[in-house]
Amino acid sequence: MSLHAELHRHLGGSIVPRILWRFLMRKGHPLAEEYPDYQEFEAFFTRPRGSLAEYLELHTLVEHVQTLDALPYFVSKLIRGAYVFENLAYLEIRYTPYLRTDRALSESDRIAQMREVVQVIGKTARSAEYPIVTSQILCLHSRLSDRVNRAIVDLAGSEPEYVSGIDVAGGDTFYANRMDTLVELYKYALALGLKTTAHLYETQDGCYPQLLPYVCRIGHGIQIPLLHPELLPQLAARRQCLEVCPTTYIKTGTLQNIAQLRPVFERCFAAGVDIAICTDNAGLHDVRLPFEYENLLTHDVIDFAQLKSCQEAAFRHAFAWPHPMPPQAFLRSFSML
Nearer to Zn ion, 203 or 311 (CB): 203
Residue 198: strand, helix, or coil? strand
The closest of 151, 82, 77, 86 to 117, measured between CA atoms, is 151
Identify which range of 77-85, 154-162, 173-181, 274-282 contacts Zn ion by CB under 5 A. 274-282
The count of other CB atoms within 10 Å of the CB of residue 324 is: 8
Helices (H), the chain: 17-27, 30-34, 38-46, 52-65, 71-86, 107-125, 146-158, 179-191, 223-227, 232-237, 246-251, 262-271, 282-285, 289-298, 304-316, 327-335
Cβ distance to Zn ion smaller for residue 139 or 301: 139
- CA-to-CA separations, 126 to 75, 129, 130, 201, in angstroms, rounded: 10, 9, 8, 33
- Give the nearer residue to Zn ion in terms of CB position, either 92 or 280: 280
C-beta of 107 vs 205, nearer to Zn ion = 205
x/- track of binding to Zn ion for residues 171-210 (CB under 5 A): ----------------------------------------
Q: Using the rule CB under 5 A, is 6 a contact of Zn ion?
A: no
Regarding 280 and contact with Zn ion (CB under 5 A), the answer is yes
What would the x/- binding string for Zn ion be over residues 89 to 118, using CB under 5 A? ------------------------------
Q: What is the DSSP string of 45-88?
A: HHS--SSHHHHHHHHHHHHHH--TTTHHHHHHHHHHHHHHHH-E
Residue 35 or 98 having the CB closest to Zn ion:
98
Are 22 and 132 in contact, with CB atoms under 8 Å apart? Answer: no
Q: How many residues bind Zn ion (CB under 5 A)?
A: 1
Q: Among 28-36, 42-50, 62-70, 279-287, which window interacts with Zn ion (CB under 5 A)?
A: 279-287
CB of 59 to Zn ion, least distance (A): 9
Closest separation in Å from C-beta 284 to Zn ion: 10
Query: Quick one: which of 243, 244, 248 has its CA closest to 287?
Result: 248
**Contacting range for Zn ion; rule: CB under 5 A; set: 108-116, 133-141, 182-190, 277-285:** 277-285
Residue closer to Zn ion by CB (options 124, 247) is: 247
Q: Angle CA(131)–CA(136)–CA(139) in degrees, nearest 5?
A: 155
Nearest distance, CB of residue 305 and Zn ion, angstroms: 27
Q: Of 50 and 322, which CB lies nearer to Zn ion in the complex structure?
A: 50
In the complex, least distance from residue 7 CB atom to Zn ion, rounded to whole angstroms: 10
User: What's the min distance (Å) between Cβ of 85 and Zn ion?
Assistant: 20
Binding flag, residue 167, Zn ion (CB under 5 A) = no
State the minimum distance, in angstroms, from the CB of residue 202 to Zn ion.
8
State the minimum distance, in angstroms, from the CB of residue 19 to Zn ion.
20
Adjacent-strand bridge partners of 200:
220
Dihedral sign of CA atoms 284, 46, 277, 228 in order:
negative
Taking alpha carbons only, the member of 120, 123, 114, 117 closest to residue 149 is 114
Which phi and psi (to 5°) does residue 33 adopt? -70, -35
Minimal distance, residue 34 CB to Zn ion, in Å: 27
189, 207 contact by CB (below 8 A)? no
Cβ at position 335, least distance to Zn ion in Å: 35
Give whole-number Cα distances, 317 to 175, 206, 239, 312, in Å: 25, 23, 9, 9
**Residue nearer to Zn ion on the CB measure, 6 or 280:** 280
Nearer to Zn ion, 59 or 110 (CB): 59
Q: Please identify the residue of the shown chain whose CB is closest to the bound Zn ion.
A: 280
Using CB under 5 A, list all residues that contact Zn ion.
Answer: 280
